[in-house]
Amino acid sequence: MDYNSNRKKMPLPEYGRNLQNMVEHIMTIEDRDERNRGARTIIDIMGNMYPYLRDINDFKHKLWDHLAIMSDFQLDIDYPYDPPKRETFNEPPKRVPYETGRIKLRHYGKILELLVDKAAKYETGEEKELLIKLLANHMKKSYLVWNKDTVDDEKIYADLEVLSHGRIQRSDLGLTETKDILFRNRKKTIVATRNQKKHRKHD
């Protein structure tokens, strides 16, 4: 029996064994024009296998790159694009520049910390006070996600002062009641659970 496990490993198995055999066949054709015609035929077949990707930029370019990979970079034809080189795939991936800055209070997140810093720079006035109150209420909601029992408003004011490096000091912003926040959170959870059950019934 001829098992796939005994066959040569395919570079791009998503195209199937038959297409891989076609690529290996045109590599044996001596006439260059004939090889070029065979390559174009294979590209058309590859494109027909994934028609929904035709609107993607550089779709054809990617197909020709795939053809080069499937031939182990040894197919000598007139590529319409510069074919990839084997060395390119041996290069280690570039390091992703992750944010390394320390977050003062992790349960609030870095974005809120940046927003508090922006609010601290606002000119004194009604707009600044409204923004600070919105941020403080959001901090309270975020805190209750981690500590679902309760939170004292004084704790929020203290954290707000810490995040703003002392530039925002408030003691009475009239924050949303804890019980109201918890009620809304429970209501959202109930609605989400019901929606999940409905989806499961339809599946």
- pLDDT tens by residue, 62-114: 999 999 999 999 999 999 999 888 887 777 777 877 666 677 788 888 888 99
Residues 20 and 82 in one domain: yes
Residues 85 and 105 in one domain: no
How many CB atoms are located within 10 Å of the residue 38 CB?
A: 19
Residues 112 and 171 in one domain: yes
Range of the domain at 107: 101-178
pLDDT digits (tens, 9 = 90+) for 156-167: 999 999 999 999
In-domain check, residue 120:
yes
In-domain check, residue 31:
yes
In-domain check, residue 200:
no
Global confidence as pTM:
0.47
Q: Where are the alpha helices (DSSP H) in the chain?
A: 16-26, 32-49, 59-70, 110-120, 126-146, 153-163, 178-202
Residues 84 and 106 in one domain: no
Residues 16 and 78 in one domain: yes
pLDDT digits (tens, 9 = 90+) for 120-177: 998 999 999 999 999 999 998 888 887 766 788 899 999 999 999 999 998 888 888 8
In the chain, how many domains are there?
2
Residues 79 and 108 in one domain: no
In-domain check, residue 127:
yes
In-domain check, residue 194:
no
Residues 83 and 108 in one domain: no
How many CB atoms are located within 10 Å of the residue 56 CB?
A: 10
pLDDT digits (tens, 9 = 90+) for 30-52: 999 999 999 999 999 999 998 88
Residues 81 and 105 in one domain: no
CA distance 175 to 23: 69
The vertex-18 CA angle with 14 and 20, nearest 5°, equals 65
In-domain check, residue 198:
no
In-domain check, residue 186:
no
In-domain check, residue 40:
yes
Residues 55 and 126 in one domain: no
Residues 110 and 174 in one domain: yes
**pLDDT for the residue 200:** 62
**pLDDT for the residue 1:** 52
Residues 9 and 78 in one domain: yes
